[in-house]
Protein backbone atom coordinates (compact mmCIF):
# COMPACT_ATOMS: atom_id res chain seq x y z
CA UNK A 1 0.00 0.00 0.00
CA UNK A 2 1.54 3.29 -1.02
CA UNK A 3 1.10 6.93 -1.81
CA UNK A 4 2.88 7.74 -5.05
CA UNK A 5 3.65 11.33 -5.93
CA UNK A 6 4.72 11.50 -9.55
CA UNK A 7 6.34 14.61 -11.02
CA UNK A 8 3.99 17.10 -9.40
CA UNK A 9 4.36 20.72 -10.46
CA UNK A 10 2.36 23.68 -9.23
CA UNK A 11 2.81 27.38 -9.95
CA UNK A 12 1.15 30.36 -8.33
CA UNK A 13 1.25 33.15 -10.89
CA UNK A 14 4.77 32.86 -12.25
CA UNK A 15 6.15 31.25 -9.11
CA UNK A 16 6.90 27.52 -9.12
CA UNK A 17 5.96 26.28 -5.65
CA UNK A 18 6.35 22.62 -6.66
CA UNK A 19 8.83 21.67 -9.34
CA UNK A 20 8.66 18.01 -10.29
CA UNK A 21 8.15 16.39 -6.88
CA UNK A 22 8.49 12.61 -6.84
CA UNK A 23 8.08 10.55 -3.70
CA UNK A 24 6.76 7.13 -2.84
CA UNK A 25 5.56 6.69 0.71
CA UNK A 26 4.32 3.46 2.29
CA UNK A 27 0.85 4.16 3.68
CA UNK A 28 1.58 2.49 7.03
CA UNK A 29 4.86 4.34 7.56
CA UNK A 30 5.97 7.26 9.68
CA UNK A 31 7.47 9.56 7.07
CA UNK A 32 8.86 13.06 7.64
CA UNK A 33 9.17 16.08 5.37
CA UNK A 34 11.48 18.94 6.32
CA UNK A 35 12.69 22.02 4.51
CA UNK A 36 12.99 25.78 4.89
CA UNK A 37 10.00 28.11 4.87
CA UNK A 38 8.54 28.43 1.41
CA UNK A 39 10.00 25.11 0.22
CA UNK A 40 6.55 23.97 -0.92
CA UNK A 41 5.78 21.48 1.87
CA UNK A 42 2.27 22.72 2.71
CA UNK A 43 1.48 23.13 -0.98
CA UNK A 44 2.46 19.50 -1.52
CA UNK A 45 -0.04 18.47 1.19
CA UNK A 46 -2.70 20.64 -0.47
CA UNK A 47 -2.11 18.88 -3.77
CA UNK A 48 -2.02 15.40 -2.22
CA UNK A 49 -5.23 16.02 -0.28
CA UNK A 50 -7.04 17.63 -3.21
CA UNK A 51 -7.39 21.19 -1.89
CA UNK A 52 -5.22 22.58 -4.68
CA UNK A 53 -5.05 21.12 -8.22
CA UNK A 54 -1.59 20.30 -9.59
CA UNK A 55 -0.56 21.78 -12.93
CA UNK A 56 0.92 18.46 -13.97
CA UNK A 57 1.87 15.10 -12.52
CA UNK A 58 -0.13 12.42 -10.85
CA UNK A 59 -0.99 11.17 -7.36
CA UNK A 60 -1.74 7.49 -6.83
CA UNK A 61 -3.11 5.91 -3.68
CA UNK A 62 -2.62 2.15 -3.57
CA UNK A 63 -2.10 2.14 -7.31
CA UNK A 64 -5.20 4.15 -8.24
CA UNK A 65 -4.93 7.71 -9.62
CA UNK A 66 -6.84 10.02 -7.26
CA UNK A 67 -6.30 13.31 -9.08
CA UNK A 68 -9.98 13.62 -9.97
CA UNK A 69 -11.20 13.16 -6.37
CA UNK A 70 -12.36 15.98 -4.06
CA UNK A 71 -10.88 16.30 -0.54
CA UNK A 72 -13.89 14.50 1.05
CA UNK A 73 -13.61 11.72 -1.52
CA UNK A 74 -9.91 11.36 -0.73
CA UNK A 75 -10.80 11.27 2.98
CA UNK A 76 -13.25 8.46 2.28
CA UNK A 77 -10.47 6.69 0.37
CA UNK A 78 -8.57 6.76 3.68
CA UNK A 79 -6.36 9.85 3.50
CA UNK A 80 -6.81 13.09 5.46
CA UNK A 81 -4.68 16.12 6.22
CA UNK A 82 -4.41 18.62 9.04
CA UNK A 83 -3.55 22.28 8.50
CA UNK A 84 -0.50 24.20 9.66
CA UNK A 85 -2.88 26.71 11.23
CA UNK A 86 -5.56 24.63 12.96
CA UNK A 87 -8.97 25.09 11.36
CA UNK A 88 -11.23 24.23 14.25
CA UNK A 89 -14.59 25.97 14.54
CA UNK A 90 -13.61 28.19 17.46
CA UNK A 91 -17.14 28.83 18.71
CA UNK A 92 -17.90 25.08 18.87
CA UNK A 93 -16.76 22.95 21.78
CA UNK A 94 -14.16 20.21 21.36
CA UNK A 95 -16.92 17.59 21.33
CA UNK A 96 -18.98 19.53 18.77
CA UNK A 97 -15.90 19.99 16.56
CA UNK A 98 -15.31 16.25 16.51
CA UNK A 99 -19.01 15.62 15.76
CA UNK A 100 -18.86 18.09 12.88
CA UNK A 101 -15.81 16.31 11.44
CA UNK A 102 -17.52 12.95 11.03
CA UNK A 103 -17.96 12.16 7.35
CA UNK A 104 -21.45 12.56 5.87
CA UNK A 105 -23.14 9.27 5.47
CA UNK A 106 -26.86 8.59 5.19
CA UNK A 107 -27.72 12.07 6.40
CA UNK A 108 -26.32 13.44 3.15
CA UNK A 109 -29.55 13.02 1.24
CA UNK A 110 -32.87 14.39 2.44
CA UNK A 111 -34.55 11.44 0.84
CA UNK A 112 -32.38 9.07 2.86
CA UNK A 113 -33.31 10.95 6.03
CA UNK A 114 -37.00 10.71 5.20
CA UNK A 115 -37.08 7.04 4.38
CA UNK A 116 -34.51 5.71 6.81
CA UNK A 117 -34.75 7.59 10.11
CA UNK A 118 -33.67 4.46 11.99
CA UNK A 119 -30.53 4.25 9.90
CA UNK A 120 -29.75 7.90 10.62
CA UNK A 121 -30.12 7.33 14.38
CA UNK A 122 -27.77 4.36 14.14
CA UNK A 123 -25.16 6.44 12.30
CA UNK A 124 -25.52 9.18 14.92
CA UNK A 125 -24.97 6.72 17.75
CA UNK A 126 -21.89 5.38 16.01
CA UNK A 127 -20.51 8.89 15.48
CA UNK A 128 -21.15 9.79 19.14
CA UNK A 129 -19.27 6.67 20.17
CA UNK A 130 -16.31 7.51 17.91
CA UNK A 131 -16.27 11.05 19.34
CA UNK A 132 -16.08 9.78 22.93
CA UNK A 133 -13.37 7.26 22.02
CA UNK A 134 -11.35 10.00 20.33
CA UNK A 135 -11.73 12.36 23.32
CA UNK A 136 -10.53 9.63 25.67
CA UNK A 137 -7.63 8.61 23.41
CA UNK A 138 -6.38 12.19 23.09
CA UNK A 139 -7.04 12.89 26.79
CA UNK A 140 -9.23 15.86 25.94
CA UNK A 141 -11.93 14.91 28.47
CA UNK A 142 -11.31 17.93 30.70
CA UNK A 143 -11.85 20.35 27.82
CA UNK A 144 -14.50 18.42 25.90
CA UNK A 145 -17.14 21.08 26.55
CA UNK A 146 -14.84 24.09 26.21
CA UNK A 147 -15.21 26.27 23.10
CA UNK A 148 -12.18 25.28 21.09
CA UNK A 149 -11.16 28.90 20.54
CA UNK A 150 -10.14 28.88 24.22
CA UNK A 151 -7.74 25.91 23.91
CA UNK A 152 -3.95 26.24 24.11
CA UNK A 153 -1.90 25.87 20.92
CA UNK A 154 -1.02 22.28 21.80
CA UNK A 155 -4.61 21.35 22.63
CA UNK A 156 -5.69 22.78 19.27
CA UNK A 157 -3.14 20.54 17.55
CA UNK A 158 -4.55 17.54 19.45
CA UNK A 159 -8.07 18.54 18.38
CA UNK A 160 -6.83 18.85 14.80
CA UNK A 161 -5.51 15.27 15.06
CA UNK A 162 -8.85 14.23 16.56
CA UNK A 163 -10.76 15.79 13.67
CA UNK A 164 -8.60 13.79 11.26
CA UNK A 165 -9.24 10.59 13.26
CA UNK A 166 -13.02 11.04 12.94
CA UNK A 167 -12.90 9.84 9.33
CA UNK A 168 -11.11 6.65 10.48
CA UNK A 169 -8.27 7.19 8.02
CA UNK A 170 -5.44 4.89 6.97
CA UNK A 171 -3.03 7.74 6.28
CA UNK A 172 -2.86 11.13 8.01
CA UNK A 173 -0.90 14.10 6.69
CA UNK A 174 0.17 16.32 9.61
CA UNK A 175 1.33 19.85 8.84
CA UNK A 176 3.67 21.02 11.63
CA UNK A 177 1.94 19.23 14.52
CA UNK A 178 4.53 20.45 17.05
CA UNK A 179 4.72 24.12 16.06
CA UNK A 180 3.91 26.37 19.01
CA UNK A 181 3.34 23.38 21.30
CA UNK A 182 5.01 23.13 24.71
CA UNK A 183 7.54 20.27 25.17
CA UNK A 184 5.30 18.23 27.47
CA UNK A 185 2.46 18.26 24.98
CA UNK A 186 4.89 17.54 22.13
CA UNK A 187 5.81 14.31 23.94
CA UNK A 188 2.11 13.58 24.39
CA UNK A 189 1.30 14.12 20.69
CA UNK A 190 4.30 11.97 19.67
CA UNK A 191 3.07 9.13 21.86
CA UNK A 192 -0.42 9.29 20.33
CA UNK A 193 1.12 9.25 16.84
CA UNK A 194 3.24 6.20 17.74
CA UNK A 195 0.23 4.38 19.19
CA UNK A 196 -1.86 5.06 16.10
CA UNK A 197 1.01 3.96 13.88
CA UNK A 198 1.31 0.71 15.84
CA UNK A 199 -2.37 0.13 14.95
CA UNK A 200 -1.51 0.49 11.28
CA UNK A 201 -2.30 4.16 10.61
CA UNK A 202 0.40 5.84 8.54
CA UNK A 203 1.60 9.42 8.96
CA UNK A 204 3.37 11.91 6.75
CA UNK A 205 4.62 14.69 9.00
CA UNK A 206 5.85 18.10 7.94
CA UNK A 207 7.90 19.55 10.73
CA UNK A 208 10.17 22.43 11.51
CA UNK A 209 11.32 20.94 14.81
CA UNK A 210 14.05 18.70 13.36
CA UNK A 211 14.98 17.19 16.69
CA UNK A 212 11.39 16.10 17.42
CA UNK A 213 10.90 14.76 13.90
CA UNK A 214 14.10 12.73 13.76
CA UNK A 215 13.10 11.02 17.02
CA UNK A 216 9.79 10.01 15.47
CA UNK A 217 10.39 8.96 11.86
CA UNK A 218 12.72 6.34 10.38
CA UNK A 219 12.63 8.04 6.96
CA UNK A 220 12.30 11.59 5.75
CA UNK A 221 12.57 13.77 2.69
CA UNK A 222 14.12 17.21 2.49
CA UNK A 223 12.44 19.80 0.28
CA UNK A 224 13.80 23.09 -0.99
CA UNK A 225 12.43 25.43 -3.63
CA UNK A 226 9.74 23.05 -4.78
CA UNK A 227 12.01 20.03 -5.13
CA UNK A 228 12.92 16.97 -3.09
CA UNK A 229 16.65 17.30 -2.42
CA UNK A 230 17.20 14.02 -0.59
CA UNK A 231 15.34 11.14 0.98
CA UNK A 232 16.32 8.43 3.44
CA UNK A 233 17.18 7.79 7.09
CA UNK A 234 17.38 11.08 9.05
CA UNK A 235 21.08 10.76 9.98
CA UNK A 236 22.16 10.03 6.41
CA UNK A 237 19.96 12.74 4.92
CA UNK A 238 21.14 15.40 7.35
CA UNK A 239 24.77 14.62 6.48
CA UNK A 240 24.11 14.98 2.76
CA UNK A 241 26.19 18.01 1.60
CA UNK A 242 23.39 19.18 -0.72
CA UNK A 243 21.01 19.22 2.25
CA UNK A 244 23.47 20.95 4.57
CA UNK A 245 24.04 23.61 1.96
CA UNK A 246 20.34 24.29 1.33
CA UNK A 247 18.75 23.72 4.67
CA UNK A 248 21.33 24.17 7.36
CA UNK A 249 23.34 26.85 5.57
CA UNK A 250 26.44 24.73 4.87
Q: How far is the CB of 39 from ligand ADP (least distance, A)?
A: 4
Considering the rule CB under 6 A, would residue 37 count as an interface residue with ligand ADP? yes
Reduce the secondary structure of 200-216 to three states and give it as a string: CCEEEEECCCHHHHHHH
Residue from 32, 40, 154, 177 in contact with ligand ADP (CB under 6 A): 40
Q: What are residue 130's DSSP bridge partners?
A: none
Q: How far is the CB of 249 from ligand ADP (least distance, A)?
A: 17
CB hemisphere CA count around 44 (13 angstroms) = 34
Q: How far is the CB of 89 from ligand ADP (least distance, A)?
A: 22
Q: Is 41 in the site for ligand ADP (CB under 6 A)?
A: yes
Kindly indicate which of the ranges 38-46, 60-68, 91-99, 116-124 contains the residues binding ligand ADP, using the contact rule CB under 6 A.
38-46
Residue 208's nearest CA partner among 34, 12, 18 is 34
Contacts of 167 (CB under 8 A, 6+ apart): 75, 76, 80, 101, 102, 103
Smallest distance from the beta carbon of 179 to ligand ADP, in angstroms? Answer: 11
What distance in Å separates the CA atoms of residue 105 and residue 98, rounded to the nearest whole number?
15
Check if the beta carbon of residue 101 is closer than 8 Å to that of residue 163.
yes
* Contact region with ligand ADP (CB under 6 A), list: 36-44, 128-136, 150-158, 214-222: 36-44
Name which of residues 39 to 98 contact Mg ion (CB under 5 A).
41-42, 84
Residues in contact with ligand ADP by CB under 6 A are 12, 17, 35, 37-43
Amino acid sequence: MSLEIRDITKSFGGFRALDGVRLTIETDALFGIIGPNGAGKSTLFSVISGFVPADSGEIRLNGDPIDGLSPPQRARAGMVRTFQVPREFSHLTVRENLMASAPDQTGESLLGLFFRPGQVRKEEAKIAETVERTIAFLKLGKVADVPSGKLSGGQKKLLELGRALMVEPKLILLDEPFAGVNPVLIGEIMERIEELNARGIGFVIIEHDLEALTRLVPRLAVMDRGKVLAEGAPAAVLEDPVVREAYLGG
